[in-house]
């Protein structure tokens, strides 16, 4: 079967990309102590989809692709059934990492697929740029590329538009243009998964104002592009003591990095929008890109919340609190919240509609889910902490303690549980802490709160897409049915 595998992905990452961490330049991300576990997990995703038992479910035959298959995220759904099956494939893929790889390859693939469905928006803007986008989409899908994206300017003074920032601040801008393409210079935050992706989509979702035109650019570049540097945050994987001590951080630390463009040249064939502030907004909201990419996010989140609910229940079993009424109530609340997320996912699909011949999830329900899940995630994590008490802290410092016979014996007498042997108990709570409280777990709270934009942004989307006319009709109906008093109305205070 002609489908991308893990080894295909690993060999593509040995491309000399410029990644900086801890004062050094990384020679090979596939073997580096800061990244190798996450990179292996990314490769495992491709092996999972190539497995004979999964290939039909997780991939689809590329139309006109001579038998070549690609991940279902690249499939533009034509019907409700295709949208649902695409989501089921994404969920099955995310189960391999319990939803902890946020920028898995299906995220930006969904975004580009949305651009493809809404290609008319790009054509109305500039047919040449639209043709470049169409060709790039066909190329990326045929290669089943792992793309990440950077669509936010680095924080500085958020009360000012980008062109009004203090001297010295350099958000990525177009600094030159010739017959070959454009040259860009400056920074973007935050390229999650860039260390282990093939390519990066570069754009901007923040609104631009008059004078900001040089910051308006949308293009795709390979991660080994000359002049592109990835400035990594701290590696939680490198700080992981062992897979036993940090079972999640050691495998799924997808990384986040500032992307610095040091006069990077981008050929015209990869430039999809330039110097036009209107298309920079239209590409997200007049095409189904934003809705499809965030549909993937909600599918992944459902997987993650089911995993966390599993941790919550196991915590209660391990601590012997499962039969206590308040503990059951807490678990019932968590169960209901997972059900709400699953229900909203199913709802946005059931209420989807055809756009340009493709079936797209309902925007209002998608944004409702986004707003509510941003608030839900920290509460969910807090409920796990509440259930666990000190169990996630009352742990041996590392696996090395087990090689000290005195300490090993002490552990046996202090790690008691009605549901687990001492070492099973320790292993379980190490996992729970990595999900909930470690630096890796804490970063996930920040991720779930911000990956789709701050709350004021997602609430703005919910405000924009809700059916206010229907709500107003409901108010008007009752007002119309309410009789006015016979005769003159009583005088108002102002009269
Ligand atoms: C872990 C992580 C991974 C990420 N990965 C990616 C990625 O892969 N690609 C990418 O492009 N981006 C990524 N991001 C960036 C993400 O998109 C932004 O964090 C998000 O859009 C919010 O922007 P900001 O961080 O600049 O926050 P800000 O916009 O500065 O907002 C921070 C807070 O300031 C206040 N605030 C700011 N402006 C206003 C306003 N106008 N009105 C009211 N309140 C305001 C609010 O309290 C808000 O919560 C990631 C972020 C995180 C945390």
pLDDT at 259: 98
pLDDT at 489: 65
pLDDT at 376: 98
Strands annotated E in 312-389: 353-355, 358-360
pLDDT at 495: 52
Residue whose Cα lies nearest atom 8 of ligand 1: it is 192
Q: Where are the domain boundaries for CATH 2.40.110.10 in the chain?
A: 6-277
Question: What's the chain's Rg over C-alpha atoms?
Answer: 25
CATH class of 289-474: mainly alpha
Of 154, 450, 458, 459, the residue with max ligand 1 atoms within 8 A of its CB, to mutate for a pocket test, comes to 450
pLDDT at 493: 60
User: Please, what are the averages of pLDDT over each run of 10 residues along the chain (495 residues)?
Assistant: 94 98 98 98 98 97 95 98 98 98 98 98 98 98 98 97 96 98 98 98 97 98 98 98 98 98 98 98 98 98 98 98 98 98 98 98 98 98 98 97 97 97 98 98 98 97 98 98 80 59
Residue 364, token pair as written in the block: 């209002």
Expressed in angstroms and rounded, the spacing between residue 453 Cα and the centre of ligand 1 is 5
Residue whose Cα lies nearest atom 27 of ligand 1: it is 454
Expressed in angstroms and rounded, the spacing between residue 433 Cα and the centre of ligand 1 is 26
Tokens 């320790």 label which residue? 426
Buried b (16+ CB within 10 A) or exposed e, 134-167: bebbbebbeebbbbbbbbbbbeeeeeebbeebee
Residue whose Cα lies nearest atom 21 of ligand 1: it is 453
> How is 269-298 classified by DSSP, letter by letter?
GGEEEES-HHHHHHHHHTSSHHHHHHHHHH
pLDDT, tens digit, 9 for 90 and up, residues 57-85? 999 999 999 999 999 999 999 999 999 99
pLDDT at 486: 78
pLDDT at 488: 61
Of 157, 296, 454, the residue with max ligand 1 atoms within 8 A of its CB, to mutate for a pocket test, comes to 454
Residue 294: partners with Cβ closer than 8 Å, 6 or more residues away: 366, 370, 452
Expressed in angstroms and rounded, the spacing between residue 189 Cα and the centre of ligand 1 is 9
Expressed in angstroms and rounded, the spacing between residue 329 Cα and the centre of ligand 1 is 34
Q: Which CATH number fits domain 6-277: 2.40.110.10, 3.40.50.300, 3.30.1180.10, 1.10.150.120?
A: 2.40.110.10
Q: Where are the domain boundaries for CATH 1.20.140.10 in the chain?
A: 289-474
pLDDT at 491: 62
Indicate left, alpha or beta for 25 from its phi (over 0: left) and psi (-120 to 50: alpha): beta
Q: Which atom of ligand 1 is nearest to the CA of 148?
A: 8
Buried b (16+ CB within 10 A) or exposed e, 379-394: ebbebbeebbeebbee
């Amino acid at each position: 079967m002609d489908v991308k595998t893990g080894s295909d992905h690993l060999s593509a990452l040995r491309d000399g990309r410029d990644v900086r961490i801890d004062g050094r330049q990384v020679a090979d991300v596939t073997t580096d102590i800061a990244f190798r576990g996450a990179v292996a997990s990314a490769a495992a995703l491709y092996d999972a989809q190539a497995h004979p038992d999964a290939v039909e479910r997780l991939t689809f035959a590329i139309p006109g692709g001579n038998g070549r298959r690609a991940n279902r995220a690249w499939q533009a759904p034509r019907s409700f059934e295709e949208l649902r099956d695409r989501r089921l494939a994404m969920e099955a893929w995310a189960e391999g990492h319990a939803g902890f790889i946020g920028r898995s390859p299906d995220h930006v693939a969904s975004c580009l697929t949305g651009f493809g469905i809404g290609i008319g928006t790009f054509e109305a803007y500039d047919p040449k740029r639209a043709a470049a986008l169409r060709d790039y989409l066909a190329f990326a899908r045929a290669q089943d590329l792992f793309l990440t994206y950077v669509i936010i300017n680095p924080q500085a003074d958020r009360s000012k538009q980008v062109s009004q920032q203090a001297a010295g601040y350099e958000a990525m801008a177009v600094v030159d243009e010739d017959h070959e393409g454009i040259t860009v210079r400056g920074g973007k935050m935050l390229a999650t998964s860039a260390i282990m992706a093939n390519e990066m989509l570069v754009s901007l979702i923040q609104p631009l104002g008059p004078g900001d035109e040089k910051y308006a650019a949308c293009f795709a570049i390979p991660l080994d592009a000359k002049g592109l540097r990835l400035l990594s945050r701290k590696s939680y994987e490198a700080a992981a003591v062992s897979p036993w001590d940090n079972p999640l951080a050691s495998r799924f630390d997808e990384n986040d990095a500032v992307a610095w463009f040091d006069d990077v040249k981008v050929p015209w064939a990869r430039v999809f929008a330039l110097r036009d502030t209107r298309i920079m907004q239209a590409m997200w909201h007049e095409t189904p890109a934003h809705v499809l990419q965030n549909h993937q996010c909600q599918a992944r989140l459902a997987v993650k919340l089911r995993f966390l609910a599993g941790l919550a229940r196991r915590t209660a079993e391990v601590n012997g609190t499962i039969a206590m009424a308040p503990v059951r109530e807490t678990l019932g609340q968590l169960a209901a919240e997972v059900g709400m997320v699953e229900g909203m996912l199913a709802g946005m699909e059931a209420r989807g509609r055809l756009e340009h011949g493709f079936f797209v999830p309902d925007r209002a329900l998608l944004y409702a889910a986004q707003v509510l899940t941003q608030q839900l995630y920290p509460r969910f994590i807090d409920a796990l902490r509440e259930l666990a008490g000190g169990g996630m802290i009352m742990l041996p410092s590392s696996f090395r303690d087990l090689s000290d016979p005195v300490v090993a014996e002490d552990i046996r007498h202090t790690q008691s549980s009605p549901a687990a042997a001492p070492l099973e108990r320790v292993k379980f709570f190490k996992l729970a802490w990595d999900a909930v409280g470690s630096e890796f777990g804490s970063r996930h709270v920040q991720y779930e709160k911000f990956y789709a934009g701050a709350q004021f942004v997602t609430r703005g989307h919910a405000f924009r897409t809700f059916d206010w006319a229907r709500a107003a009709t409901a108010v008007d109906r009752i007002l119309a049915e309410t009789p006015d008093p016979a005769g003159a109305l009583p005088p108002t205070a102002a009269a």
